[in-house]
C-alpha cells in the first residue's frame, strides 16, 4: 500500500516547482552580451569593429572618467558562466556551434579587458586567448632561404630590398588612375562573387581614400548590408593591391562576410550576438583569413594575372612586359609574410626594440623604411592581430580544400566558402587532420 503525502506538503512542493527559475536562454544572454560590448567600446575606439543591432541598445548618458574595468570583467565572467550552463547536448550542430563560438568570444572579451587593465600575455598566449589559434614559429634560416631565391630573380644593383623596391616601383598605380583602377577591380570582384553567392538586393558599399592610418585598407560595415571601404593612400599603391583590396575589403571578403552573417544569423535566426563585432576576438581570424583566401576563390590560378595584365595594367597606364617576372617575384615574396609575425612576436615580447623590428621588416619583408615603421605602428595598436591575415588564410584554405574545395573544383570551393562565411565558426572548428 502506497503512503499518501500530506496535502500541505504537496502544496509546498507544487509552489516550489512553479516558482523554480527557468534556465536563461541564449537569446537573453545575447542581448546582455551586445550591451556589454557596446559599453566597453565607449572607452576603447578599436574594441567594436561593427554594430548593426537596435539603436536603443547603444549606451546613453555620459561615460565615466575611467573605464569600470572590474565591473566589465565581472559581467563577462557572469555571462561565461551562464552560457556554460546552457545544455545543447541534444541540439543541432548549428546550435552547438553557436554556444561554442559565444564562449570563445566571451573569453576573448575578458582577455582584452584584462589587457586594458594592465595584464600582459606573451604573444602566443595572447593570440590563443583572443583568436583561438596557435601561431607557428619560423626560424631566421627559413626566411634567409626565401631571400636567396629572390636574390637571383630581382634585377638591378644594390641590396635585395633596394632592388626589389626599385623594381616594384615600375608597377605603382599613378594617383590620377587610382580611383578608376580600384572601381573596375571592385566591380569585377563583385561580378564574380554575385555569380556564386546570393546577397541581399540592397547590398552596397561606398569607397573613400584616406591618410594617416596604420593599415592599407579597412571595411567599416554599416549594417543593412552596406559598407564603407577606405583605402589608405599614405604610400604608393602597387597594381596587385587593386585586386587584393577589392576582394579583401569587398567581394568576397569583409563586406560579403558581414552581410551574410547579418542576413543568415541576425535577421533570419535572431541571433543578436552577431549584431556586434568585437575586433579582438575569434571572429577576426575567420574574417581576415577568409578575406585573404577569398582573393584566390574569386580569381583562381592564372585568371588573376591574366585579368590584371589585360585590364588593370592598361587602365593604370603600366607596361606589362615585365609583369611575368614581377608576379614570379611576388609569389616568393608572399611566402615571407610570416616574417612580420616573427617581428611582432619578438617586439611585443620585449626581445627586440621597435627600431630592430623595423629593420627586420626591411630585410625580411623587403619593406621600405617608411612602410616598416608604419607596420610597427600596427604592432603597437593591434598587437597579435597580425596572425589573422596569414595564419587565418592558411587555416581557411586548408579547411576549404580538405572539404573538396580545391582549385580544380571551383563550384565546390565556392559552396564550402559560403558555408564557412554563413555560420558560427572559429579557428579550432576548422582544424583538419595534420594541422
SS3 category, 85: coil
> Lowest-confidence range among 10-24, 95-109, 293-307?
10-24
Q: Does the pLDDT value for residue 7 go beyond 90?
A: no
146 and 125 belong to one structural domain: no
- Give CA–CA dist 22/35, Å, rounded: 22
pLDDT for the residue 8: 46
Confidence band (pLDDT; 50, 70, 90) for 370?
Answer: very high
Q: Are 215 and 241 in contact (CB under 8 A)?
A: no
**Has residue 51 been placed in a domain?**
yes
Question: In this structure, are 145 and 98 located in the same domain?
Answer: no
Residues 190 and 167 in one domain: yes
pLDDT of residue 434: 59
Q: Give me the chain's average pLDDT, please.
A: 93
Q: Is position 435 within any domain? A: no
pLDDT of 81 > 80? The answer is: yes
Residue 164 covered by a domain: yes
pLDDT in tens, 215-231: 899 999 999 999 999 99
Residue 10 predicted with pLDDT over 70: no
Confidence of residue 15 (pLDDT cuts 50, 70, 90): very low
Percent of the chain with pLDDT over 70: 94
Rg (the chain; Cα; Å): 25
Task: Judge whether 1 lies within some domain.
Answer: no
The reported pLDDT for the residue numbered 431 is 85
396 touches 430 (CB < 8 A): yes
Distance CA 105, CA 99 (A): 10
Same domain, 397 and 251: yes
Q: CA of 262: how far to CAs of 54, 224, 254, in Å? A: 13, 8, 12
Question: Does residue 95 register a pLDDT over 90?
Answer: yes
Q: Binning pLDDT at 50, 70 and 90, where does residue 435 land?
A: low
pLDDT at 13: 43
Domain boundary among 131, 156, 182: 131
Average pLDDT estimate for 48-72: 92
pLDDT at 73 over 80: yes
Hey, what's the cell of 364?
A: 625580411
* Three-class secondary structure of residue 68 per DSSP: coil
State whether 80 and 184 are in the same domain.
no
Residue 72 sits in which domain range?
Answer: 20-131
Q: Is residue 14 part of a domain?
A: no
Domain end (from 131, 148, 168): 131
| Banded pLDDT at 23 (limits 50, 70, 90) | low
Please list the residues that pair with 223 across neighbouring strands: 226
**Residue among 415, 49, 397 nearest 215 (CA):** 49
Asked whether the predicted pLDDT for residue 28 surpasses 60, the reply is yes
pLDDT average, residue stretch 349-356: 98
Is residue 422 a contact partner of residue 277, using CB atoms and an 8 Å limit? no
323-348 mean pLDDT: 96
Q: State the average pLDDT over residues 31-50.
A: 96
The residue with greater pLDDT, 112 or 64, is 112
The three grid cell numbers given for residue 326, joined into one nine-digit string: 614581377
The total domain count for the chain is: 2
Q: What pLDDT was estimated at residue 61?
A: 79
**Same domain for 203 and 77:** no
267 shares its domain with 391: yes
**What pLDDT does residue 60 have?**
87
The string of pLDDT tens digits covering residues 122-155 is: 999 999 999 999 999 999 999 999 999 999 999 9
Grid coordinates given for 269: 535566426
Which position has the higher pLDDT, 1 or 360? 360
- Torsion from C-alpha of 255, 378, 329, 190, nearest 10 degrees: 10
Amino acid at each position: 500500500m502506497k503512503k499518501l503525502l500530506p496535502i500541505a506538503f504537496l502544496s509546498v512542493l507544487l509552489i516550489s516547482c512553479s516558482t523554480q527559475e527557468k534556465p536563461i536562454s541564449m537569446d537573453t544572454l545575447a542581448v546582455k552580451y551586445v550591451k556589454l560590448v557596446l559599453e566597453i567600446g565607449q572607452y576603447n575606439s578599436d574594441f567594436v569593429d561593427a554594430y548593426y543591432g537596435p539603436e536603443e541598445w547603444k549606451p546613453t548618458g555620459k561615460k565615466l572618467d575611467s573605464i569600470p574595468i572590474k565591473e566589465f570583467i565581472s559581467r563577462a565572467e557572469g555571462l561565461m558562466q551562464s552560457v556554460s550552463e546552457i545544455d545543447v547536448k541534444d541540439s543541432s550542430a548549428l546550435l552547438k556551434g553557436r554556444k561554442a563560438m559565444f564562449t570563445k568570444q566571451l573569453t576573448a572579451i575578458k582577455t582584452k579587458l584584462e589587457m586594458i587593465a594592465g595584464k600582459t600575455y606573451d604573444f602566443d598566449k595572447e593570440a590563443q586567448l583572443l583568436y583561438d589559434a596557435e601561431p607557428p614559429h619560423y626560424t631566421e634560416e627559413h626566411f634567409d632561404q626565401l631571400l636567396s631565391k629572390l636574390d637571383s630573380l630581382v634585377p638591378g644593383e644594390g641590396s635585395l630590398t633596394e632592388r626589389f623596391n626599385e623594381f616594384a616601383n615600375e608597377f605603382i598605380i599613378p594617383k590620377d588612375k587610382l580611383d578608376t583602377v580600384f572601381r573596375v577591380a571592385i566591380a569585377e570582384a563583385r561580378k564574380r562573387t554575385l555569380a556564386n553567392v546570393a546577397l541581399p538586393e540592397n547590398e552596397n558599399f561606398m569607397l573613400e581614400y584616406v591618410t594617416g592610418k596604420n593599415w592599407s585598407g579597412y571595411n567599416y560595415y554599416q549594417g543593412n548590408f552596406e559598407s564603407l571601404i577606405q583605402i589608405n593612400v599614405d604610400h604608393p599603391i602597387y597594381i596587385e593591391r587593386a585586386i587584393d583590396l577589392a576582394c579583401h575589403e569587398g567581394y568576397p571578403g569583409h563586406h560579403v562576410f558581414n552581410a551574410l552573417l547579418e542576413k543568415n544569423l541576425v535577421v533570419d535566426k535572431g541571433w543578436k550576438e552577431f549584431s556586434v563585432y568585437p575586433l579582438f576576438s575569434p571572429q577576426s581570424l575567420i574574417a581576415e583569413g577568409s578575406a585573404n583566401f577569398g582573393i584566390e576563390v574569386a580569381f583562381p590560378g592564372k585568371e588573376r594575372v591574366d585579368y590584371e595584365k589585360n585590364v588593370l595594367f592598361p587602365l593604370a597606364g603600366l607596361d606589362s612586359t615585365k609583369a611575368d617576372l614581377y608576379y614570379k617575384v611576388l609569389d616568393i615574396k608572399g611566402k615571407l609574410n610570416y616574417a612580420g609575425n616573427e617581428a611582432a612576436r619578438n617586439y611585443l615580447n620585449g626581445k627586440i626594440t621597435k627600431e630592430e623590428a623595423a629593420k627586420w621588416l626591411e630585410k625580411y619583408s623587403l619593406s621600405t623604411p617608411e612602410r616598416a615603421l608604419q607596420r610597427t605602428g600596427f604592432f603597437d595598436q593591434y598587437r597579435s592581430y597580425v596572425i589573422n591575415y596569414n595564419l587565418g588564410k592558411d587555416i581557411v584554405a586548408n579547411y576549404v580544400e580538405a572539404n573538396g574545395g580545391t582549385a580544380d573544383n571551383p563550384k565546390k570551393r565556392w559552396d564550402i566558402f559560403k558555408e564557412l562565411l554563413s555560420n558560427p565558426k572559429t579557428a579550432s572548428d576548422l582544424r583538419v587532420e595534420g594541422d
